[in-house]
Amino acid sequence: MNKIIPRLLIAGYFSIFIIIIVGLGWAWHTYREAPDQPIAYSHNKHINFVGLECTHCHAYADRALMPGIPPLQTCMECHENVATDRPEIIKLTAYWNKKEPVPWINVNYLPPHVYFTHKRHVKRGFECAECHGDIAHMDKVRQVKSFRMGWCVTCHRANNGPTDCWTCHK
Amino acid sequence: MELIEQFALVNTPVFLKTVKMLLAVMYIIHLPYIGMLLGNTLFSLIFNAMDKQQPNGLHATFSRRLIDSVAFRKSISLVFGVLPLMVITLIYIQILQSGGASTTLFLIYSLVPIVLGLIAVNVYRITFSQRSYLSILIGAAGIGLLLVGYFVLIASVARFHEPDRWKFVTSLTSLLVSYNAIGNYLTFLMASLAISGAGIVFFIFKWQNDSENDTPEFQRYARQFGVIISLIFTLLIPIFLIFSFITLPDVAWSNSMMFSGILVIIVLAIISLVLTAMLQRNDLKYGISLFVLFIIAYSLLVITNAITRENSLVELSKTINLKGEAMLAELIPERGEVGSGLTDYARGEDIYKRICSTCHRFDKQIVGPAYNTVLGKYENDINKLVAFVSKPTKVNPDLPPMPNLGLKINDVEAAAGYLIKTYQEEYK
């Protein structure tokens, strides 16, 4: 009996940590993992192999608050003829034929109480990778930078950007 | 930073995979060794100081036996200590290239206190017989240097998992102020002290022959000390392991990393059960198994760490691989003489059908222009077409740029030859 109790205690103690890891994993999977998009679009393929520029699709990246998600028309400029037999392009064509936009899931998201202007950062000379990670080599988009206030403020300080509250919280 | 880039060789995917495996092996060799060295020296210093305060034969013997263990032999120290550390640093330079330059520099800096610490610990061992306070001071300085060195090293390695912070790591303070680095460091310390306890049991009683000459009182004392120390610190490891998991950035997480973490916890649970059994039976029946289990736990910790690193550096690895492949392509000699592909029409037709026709037709514009509108200008200068396809540039602002297809020169020549021939015969 005396030998069993310490063993049970040890098993129980370590089980708690296994439960914690499983819980953390569940939370990460549910809230933080890069989502599967309706179409498995690869930035890596289009930028490094096809040779497209970021602004080819995100036309407003350097001239508006939001970079803009390309309309289906942009995709169909090429994919009306290119790789039409591939499963992902078949899905794309189906959206096009139904005249429905692709319901992309937002990955690099800033909450509504943050005023962020895309063009200001691009015009200041920041590369896309500074905030989006090496998105040019991503097959599946994921959020690399935390986009927490501390991260933004550290970068603003490092680059002599404004750090007063009003800049980002209008 | 330029120096780091000069050190790095050209990476190919296979080479990169091989050095990463070597990195894991080096860690598995180095970490248990350094853990035992740290723990044994620390315990030896404590018992030595206790004996100096109040002479006690048991403490003096134990202190000497700890420092006399195999871990302190010069050849072992070189093979398990210094050498793997150098290889680990070189591999990180190779894996990261200039990607994490400032963190890589701190990794190199950490070698200084670590090597000095190893020397000081060795001096403590050599001067142990003098039983002087100076010897104890040198030993303590050695421990201090090792603790500082490994904190910098572990913080640098932890920062590799946070590429979004690389740009901000400009000073030692910004390197060390990281919850994840602290979590990893405390896990390392707990694991070091835990394996030291197991090492006392394994090396003093199973490895060294003179254990038969020890008094039963010493044997009981050392055995109990080793087992209890090992049990206490094994129980503490998961707390800090979980802390280091929580403080990891999201990009470092994956299902395999969690699975590996769970395996670490299971092995630690088995180790604790074995230690409890040893404590209850008061024997050393499981001494070898215990040590093997610790090596397995270390291996799993190294694998978990490697998975988190790979998760964080997916894009960097892709960039480095692409760079390496491009550099290799330049080094690999072309098939045949330049110009020999121009009349290989069958190969040209095959390349046209497989690659070119994705975007081009002879008689209509698809993604790229129709061939019959552009090939005319290359008709009398086929080499110009070969040069353009080899290194395309944007010509028509209304159309997407033509990508670099990465074809060998003979293949480009064959395609160009076929295109011009077909154009002249059928579409001109």
A11 touching B, CB under 8 A?
A: yes
| Boundary residue ending a domain (A103, A119, A151) | A103
Q: Are residues A113 and A150 in the same domain?
A: yes
Low-confidence ranges of chain A (pLDDT < 50): none
Spatial distance between the Cα atoms of B64 and B165, rounded to a whole number of angstroms: 45
The structural domains of chain B, with segments of one domain joined by +, span 2-323, 345-427
Residue type, B111: L
Same domain assignment for residues A129 and A146: yes
**Same domain? A130 vs A46:** yes
Contacts A–B by Cβ distance under 8 A: 115
Which residue, B199, B201, B200, B197, is CA-closest to B228?
Answer: B197
Give the burial class of B418: count Cβ atoms within 10 A of its Cβ; 0-12 exposed, 13-18 middle, 19 or more buried: buried
Helix, strand or coil, per DSSP, at residue B215 = coil
What integer pLDDT is reported at residue A52 of this predicted model? Answer: 83
Q: Do A62 and A116 belong to one domain? A: yes
- The CATH class that applies to domain B345-427 reads mainly alpha
The angle formed by the CA atoms of residues B146, B147 and B148, to the nearest 5 degrees, is: 90
My answer on whether A63 and A143 are in the same domain is yes
pLDDT at B329: 66
Question: Range of A92's domain?
Answer: 71-103
| Residue A161 and residue A86 in one domain | no
Q: Using beta carbons and an 8 Å cutoff, which residues of B are at the interface with A? A: 163-164, 167-168, 235, 238-239, 241-242, 245-246, 249-251, 253, 255, 258, 261-262, 265-266, 268-269, 272-273, 276, 280, 314-316, 318-319, 322, 358-359, 366-367, 392, 400-404
Give this complex's ipTM: 0.84
Whether B284 contacts B223, CB under 8 Å: yes
One domain, residues A24 and A88: no
The set of residues, in sequence order, having a beta carbon less than 8 Å from that of B277 and lying 6+ positions away, is: B286
What's the rounded Cα separation, in Å, for the pair B27 and B303?
10
Q: What is the 3-state secondary structure (H, E, C) of A1-12?
A: CCCHHHHHHHHH
pLDDT of residue B395: 80
Q: What is the pLDDT along chain B (428 residues), one digit of tens a residue?
A: 555 555 556 667 788 888 899 999 999 999 999 999 999 999 999 999 999 888 888 898 889 888 887 666 778 888 898 999 999 988 888 877 655 556 778 888 999 999 999 999 989 998 988 888 899 999 999 999 999 999 999 998 888 888 777 778 878 888 888 899 999 999 999 999 999 999 888 877 665 555 566 788 888 888 889 999 999 999 999 999 999 999 998 889 999 999 999 999 999 999 999 999 988 887 777 888 898 999 999 999 999 999 999 898 888 777 777 777 777 666 655 555 556 667 788 888 888 888 888 788 888 887 788 888 888 888 888 888 888 888 888 788 777 778 777 777 888 888 899 998 888 888 87
Per-residue tokens: B118? 């190893």
Distance CA A41, CA A43 (A): 7
Which residues 87-116 of chain A have a CB within 8 Å of chain B?
none
Most distant CA pair in chain A, distance: 76
Based on the domain organization, do A43 and A11 belong to the same domain? no
CA atoms within 13 A on the CB side of B302: 20
My answer on whether A77 and A160 are in the same domain is no
Chain B nearest CA to A32, separation (Å) = 6
Domain count, chain A: 3
